[in-house]
């Protein structure tokens, strides 16, 4: 399951130096558990700070060269849109909830998901491959310590919660061996800024319905199972299981 981890321009709280975000280091840990060769993706002026992700488990890092203060979303969207059309397209794009110490808003993952037409799920603390092909099971952090389990269809964007597992130990040798690719973005930014056709008139594309959510069964801890876009047979089974679990019988059923 190929994964890409978005890396931001994080800054150390005291020194102000470029550093790797703690949440993104946790995202790398989750990615490495699913993909033996996860890659990082950063839109900015260089690899200072984010290159530390190679020491935490990334096998490679792509840096989209952008001037300081530029909007990273168009360049990220163009790069990932091109990747989604390939055989080895990423199934999961992981990101932190928000950056640390830079010009962060916390909106980049949402704007990126919207630009790519992908579903987004927030506050993941654990990930595993679903039983059905092309699905991902996510444990999502909720209020007051509760968690719920969500099944989503891939590709998708997922943000990581601070309660996710801690980062893998840093290995300097791995950082030195990791591959860093610096990629130009002028053409991609121009295409995206002009609506995808370079004319500035906007891009027309067919409507894509958002996936519907189905919640099933709860637990004493307040957790739920949530299914995104299940197949009709699976949806019917889940509905029947839910009705029976909550003591609701079909009309005319006299059992019990």
Find out whether 121 and 156 touch, Cβ atoms under 8 Å.
Answer: yes
Per-residue confidence (pLDDT) for residue 3, from 0 to 100: 94
Per-residue confidence (pLDDT) for residue 123, from 0 to 100: 93
* Contacts with 100 (C-beta within 8 Å, 6 or more apart), sequence order: 8, 10, 11, 13, 19, 21, 22, 23
d(CA 72, CA 142): 29
Ranges under pLDDT 50 in the chain: 187-208, 210-214, 216-217, 219-223, 256
Per-residue confidence (pLDDT) for residue 190, from 0 to 100: 43
Kindly report the pTM of this predicted structure: 0.71
Domains along the sequence of the chain with CATH: 3-205 (3.40.50.620), 212-256 (no CATH)
For the CA atoms of the chain, what is the radius of gyration?
Answer: 20
* Phi-psi domain of 93 (left: phi exceeds 0; alpha: psi -120 through 50; beta: other): beta
Find out whether 125 and 163 touch, Cβ atoms under 8 Å.
Answer: yes
Per-residue confidence (pLDDT) for residue 186, from 0 to 100: 55
Find out whether 125 and 117 touch, Cβ atoms under 8 Å.
Answer: no
* Contacts with 2 (C-beta within 8 Å, 6 or more apart), sequence order: 35, 38, 88, 89, 90, 91, 92
d(CA 158, CA 98): 12
* Contacts with 40 (C-beta within 8 Å, 6 or more apart), sequence order: 4, 5, 6, 7, 28, 50, 53, 54, 58, 60, 61, 62
d(CA 33, CA 96): 17
């Amino acid at each position: 399951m190929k994964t890409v981890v978005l890396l931001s321009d994080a800054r150390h709280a005291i020194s102000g130096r470029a550093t790797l975000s703690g949440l993104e280091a946790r995202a790398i840990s989750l990615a490495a558990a699913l993909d033996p060769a996860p890659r990082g993706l950063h839109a900015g002026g260089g690899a200072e700070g984010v290159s530390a992700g190679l020491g935490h488990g990334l096998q490679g890092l792509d840096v989209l060269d952008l001037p300081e203060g530029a909007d990273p979303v168009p360049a990220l969207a163009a790069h990932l849109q091109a990747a989604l059309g390939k055989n080895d397209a990423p199934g999961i794009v992981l990101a932190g909830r928000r950056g640390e110490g830079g010009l962060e808003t916390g909106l980049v993952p949402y704007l990126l998901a919207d630009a790519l037409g992908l579903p987004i799920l927030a506050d993941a603390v654990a990930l595993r491959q679903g039983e059905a092909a092309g699905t991902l099971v996510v444990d999502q952090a909720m209020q007051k310590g509760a968690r719920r389990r969500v099944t989503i269809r891939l590709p998708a964007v997922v943000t990581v919660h601070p309660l996710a597992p801690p980062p893998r130990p840093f290995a300097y040798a791995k950082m030195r061996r990791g591959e860093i690719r610096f990629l130009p973005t002028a053409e991609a930014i121009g295409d995206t800024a002009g609506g995808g056709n370079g004319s500035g008139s906007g891009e027309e594309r067919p409507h894509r319905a958002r996936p519907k959510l189905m919640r099933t069964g709860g637990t004493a801890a307040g957790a739920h199972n949530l299914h995104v876009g299940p197949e009709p047979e699976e949806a019917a089974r889940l509905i029947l299981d839910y009705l029976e679990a909550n003591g609701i019988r079909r009309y005319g059923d006299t059992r019990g």
